[in-house]
C-alpha cells in the first residue's frame, strides 16, 4: 500500500493527537505581544530589538538581530518541540496541506515576494540556495556559466564546484570599470555581448556586498531574453540572482524582476530566524533541474523510493528544499519576520533605508578624507555604503569606529573597503554621529 504523507518516514500512528496539535503550533507562533509596536514609528520599531543600546549598529545586514515577535515565535516553537519532539515535528511537517508548516512558510514568503508558494524551496541561507541552483542545472561538458567580477565568494564557489563536476566552464566579466560611471545601459550591453552559444546561465548579485552597487536586474533580464530568442528550451540561458542584500530593502515583488531564479537568505535585512532562506524559481526552471539533497517536503519522492522507481513527474520546487531534521523552531518562525516587514510596509522600509544611507553618502562625498565608492544614485544603490578613509586600511577604520561603539565592517573581497549599512533600526541622529566619527579619522 502506498505511503501517505503522514506515513512518510514515520512508523507509528499519531494522526489524531498530532493533527490536533498542529493548529495550536501555528496559533502559538502567531500570537501577538501584549503591547504591539507602532509600526509607523521607527523608534517603536527599534524597541522591538534587543540590540545593545550603547552601540550604533551598521552591520545588521551581516546577520540579523531578531525582533521581539520573531524571538517569541522561535521560543514558542522551541517549547513545543522540547515538550514533545516527535508529536510536534511529525505533525507539523508530514501532515496534509492545511496544517503543514513548511507549506505555510512558503505561503508567507509568496505573499511577500508576489509569487506562487509552489515555486519556492526553503533553504538555510543564500549559500545553500546558490549551491543547489548551480549544482541542479543539467550542465554538460563544454557548457558555460557566465558571472561577474563583483559577486560574493559563495556565488563564485558554487559555480566553480558545479562546473568542475561535469567539464563545464565559467567566466567572470566586469559590469563597469569605475564606480563613477555606472550605466544600466552599459551593464545590459556587456551582459548581452558576453553571452555565447554555450552559455547556459548568467549569475549576478542584486546588491553587491563588495561596493553597495544595486544592479538593474530587469535590464539584464532583457539582455538574457534577447540572447534566448530562437534558442531551444534545453539551451536557454537562465538568469540567476543572489538577492540577499535586496530582499528586505527594495520592492519585495522579486518575481517581477524578470530573473529565472532568485536565491536569498532571510537572516539579514529580513530579520528572519538565523539559518533560514529560500530559492524562488520559475516552474520551467525547477522542471529542468536535478535535486542534490533528499527532501522531506515531497511525499511523492519518498513514495517513488519506497516503490523502487524514479519519480514519475517533472521536478518542482518542493523537491529542492533540503531534507533532514533541522532547527525547526527557526525556520517555522520565518512567517513572523515576513509579517514584521509587511506590518512596517515594504515601501516605507525602502524609503527609510534609502533616506538614511542617502544622508550618509551625501556627507561622505563632501569629506576630503573620504573616497566614496557606492553610487549616490538611488537607482544604483540600496542599503550598503562602501568607502575608504584616505591613508587608512579598511580594517583600521572599522577598528577605530568600533572603539567608539560604532559597528561597521570591511568588505570580504580581494579589494576591500570599509562598509556601513543603515537599516530601519538606525536614526538620522546616529548617522550624524557616525559621520562626525568618520570625519575625525585619518
Ligand atoms: C552577496 C552575498 N551573497 C551571499 C552571502 C552569504 O549569505 P548567507 O549567509 O545567507 O549564505 C553574503 C554574505 O554573507 C553576501 O554578501
Per-residue model confidence as pLDDT tens digits over 201-234: 999 999 999 999 999 999 999 999 999 999 999 8
Instruction: Indicate the SS3 state at residue 56.
Output: strand
In the chain, what are the domain boundaries?
108-342, 346-439
Is residue 195 a contact partner of residue 227, using CB atoms and an 8 Å limit? yes
Measured torsion, CA atoms of residues 357, 359, 361, 363, in degrees rounded to the nearest 10:
-160
126 in ligand 1 pocket by Cβ < 6 Å? yes
Query: Which residue in this structure is represented by grid cell 552559444?
Result: 197
Determine the pLDDT at residue 79.
98
For 204, other C-beta atoms within 10 Å of its C-beta total: 25
Q: Which of 63, 122, 126 to mutate to test the pocket of ligand 1 (most atoms within 8 A of CB)?
A: 126
| pLDDT confidence bin for 442, thresholds 50/70/90 | confident
pTM of the model: 0.93
Q: Are strands 199-205 and 144-148 parallel, antiparallel or unpaired?
A: parallel
Q: Does domain 346-439 have CATH number 3.90.1150.10?
A: yes
- Ligand 1 centroid from CA 214, angstroms: 15
Is residue 320 a contact partner of residue 121, using CB atoms and an 8 Å limit? yes
Closest atom of ligand 1 to 264 CA is 10
Q: What is the mean pLDDT of residues 364-393?
A: 98
Which residue is closest in CA terms to ligand 1's atom 13? 62
| pLDDT tens for each residue of 56-83 | 999 999 999 999 999 999 999 999 999 9
Helix residue ranges, H only, 95-146: 101-113, 126-136
- Copy the grid coordinates of residue 92: 507539523
Flag whether pLDDT at 380 surpasses 60.
yes
CATH number of 108-342: 3.40.640.10
Contacts of 74 (CB under 8 A, 6+ apart): 66, 273, 329, 330, 333
Closest atom of ligand 1 to 62 CA is 14
Spatial separation of the C-alpha atoms in residues 426 and 342, rounded to whole Å:
19
Q: Which of 155, 263, 265 to mutate to test the pocket of ligand 1 (most atoms within 8 A of CB)?
A: 265
- Is pLDDT larger for residue 19 or for residue 102? 102
Is residue 84 a contact partner of residue 92, using CB atoms and an 8 Å limit? no
**Torsion-angle region of residue 230: left (phi > 0), alpha (psi -120 to 50) or beta?**
left
261 in ligand 1 pocket by Cβ < 6 Å? no
Helix (H) or strand (E) holding 396, with range, is helix 394-403
Query: Which residue in this structure is represented by grid cell 533616506?
Result: 355
- Ligand 1 centroid from CA 95, angstroms: 33
- Ligand 1 centroid from CA 386, angstroms: 16
Q: How would you class 358 by CB atoms within 10 Å of its CB: exposed for 0-12, middle for 13-18, buried for 19 or more?
A: middle
Strands, sheet with 409-410, edge to edge from the N-terminal-most edge strand = 370-372, 385-389, 418-420, 409-410
Instruction: Indicate the SS3 state at residue 260.
Output: coil
Is residue 335 a contact partner of residue 70, using CB atoms and an 8 Å limit? no
Flag whether pLDDT at 12 surpasses 60.
no
Spatial separation of the C-alpha atoms in residues 296 and 324, rounded to whole Å:
7
- Ligand 1 centroid from CA 185, angstroms: 27
Spatial separation of the C-alpha atoms in residues 272 and 261, rounded to whole Å:
21
For 412, other C-beta atoms within 10 Å of its C-beta total: 12
Flag whether pLDDT at 403 surpasses 80.
yes
209 in ligand 1 pocket by Cβ < 6 Å? yes
Closest atom of ligand 1 to 268 CA is 10
154 in ligand 1 pocket by Cβ < 6 Å? yes
Amino acid at each position: 500500500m502506498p505511503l501517505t504523507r503522514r506515513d512518510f518516514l514515520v512508523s507509528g500512528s499519531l494522526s489524531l493527537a498530532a493533527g490536533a496539535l498542529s493548529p495550536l503550533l501555528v496559533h502559538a507562533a502567531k500570537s501577538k505581544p501584549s503591547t504591539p509596536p507602532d509600526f509607523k514609528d521607527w523608534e517603536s520599531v527599534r524597541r522591538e530589538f534587543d540590540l545593545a543600546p550603547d552601540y550604533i549598529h551598521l552591520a545588521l545586514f551581516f546577520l540579523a538581530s531578531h525582533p521581539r515577535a520573531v524571538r517569541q515565535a522561535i521560543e514558542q516553537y522551541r517549547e513545543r518541540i522540547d515538550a514533545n519532539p516527535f508529536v510536534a515535528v511529525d505533525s507539523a511537517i508530514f501532515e496534509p496541506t492545511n496544517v503543514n508548516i513548511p507549506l505555510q512558510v512558503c505561503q508567507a514568503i509568496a505573499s511577500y515576494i508576489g509569487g506562487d508558494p509552489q515555486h519556492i524551496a526553503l533553504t538555510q541561507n543564500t549559500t545553500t540556495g546558490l549551491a543547489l541552483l548551480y549544482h541542479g542545472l543539467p550542465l554538460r561538458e563544454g557548457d558555460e556559466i557566465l558571472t561577474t567580477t563583483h559577486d560574493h565568494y559563495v556565488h563564485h564557489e558554487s559555480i566553480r564546484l558545479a562546473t568542475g563536476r561535469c567539464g563545464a566552464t565559467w567566466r567572470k566579466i566586469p559590469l563597469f570599470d569605475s564606480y563613477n560611471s555606472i550605466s544600466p545601459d552599459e551593464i545590459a550591453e556587456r551582459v548581452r555581448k558576453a553571452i555565447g552559444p554555450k552559455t547556459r546561465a548568467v549569475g549576478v548579485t542584486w546588491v553587491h556586498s563588495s561596493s553597495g552597487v544595486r544592479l538593474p536586474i530587469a535590464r539584464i533580464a532583457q539582455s538574457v531574453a534577447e540572447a534566448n530568442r530562437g534558442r531551444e528550451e534545453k539551451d536557454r540561458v537562465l538568469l540567476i540572482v543572489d538577492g540577499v542584500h535586496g530582499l528586505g530593502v527594495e520592492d519585495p515583488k522579486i518575481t517581477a524582476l524578470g530573473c529565472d531564479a532568485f536565491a536569498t537568505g532571510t537572516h539579514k535585512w529580513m530579520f528572519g530566524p538565523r539559518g533560514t532562506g529560500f530559492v524562488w524559481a520559475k516552474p520551467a526552471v525547477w522542471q529542468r533541474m536535478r535535486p542534490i539533497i533528499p527532501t522531506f517536503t515531497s511525499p511523492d519522492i519518498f513514495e517513488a523510493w519506497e516503490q523502487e522507481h524514479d519519480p514519475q513527474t517533472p521536478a518542482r520546487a518542493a523537491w529542492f528544499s533540503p531534507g533532514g531534521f533541522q532547527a525547526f523552531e527557526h525556520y517555522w518562525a520565518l512567517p513572523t519576520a515576513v509579517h514584521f516587514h509587511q506590518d512596517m510596509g515594504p515601501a516605507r522600509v525602502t524609503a527609510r533605508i534609502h533616506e538614511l544611507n542617502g544622508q550618509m553618502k551625501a556627507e561622505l562625498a563632501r569629506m576630503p578624507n573620504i573616497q566614496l565608492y557606492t553610487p549616490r544614485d538611488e537607482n544604483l544603490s540600496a542599503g550598503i555604503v562602501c568607502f575608504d578613509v584616505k591613508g587608512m586600511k579598511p580594517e583600521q577604520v572599522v577598528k577605530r569606529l568600533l572603539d567608539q561603539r560604532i559597528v561597521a565592517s570591511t568588505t570580504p573581497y580581494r579589494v576591500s573597503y570599509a562598509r556601513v549599512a543603515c537599516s530601519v533600526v538606525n536614526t538620522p541622529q546616529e548617522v550624524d554621529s557616525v559621520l562626525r566619527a568618520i570625519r575625525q579619522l585619518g
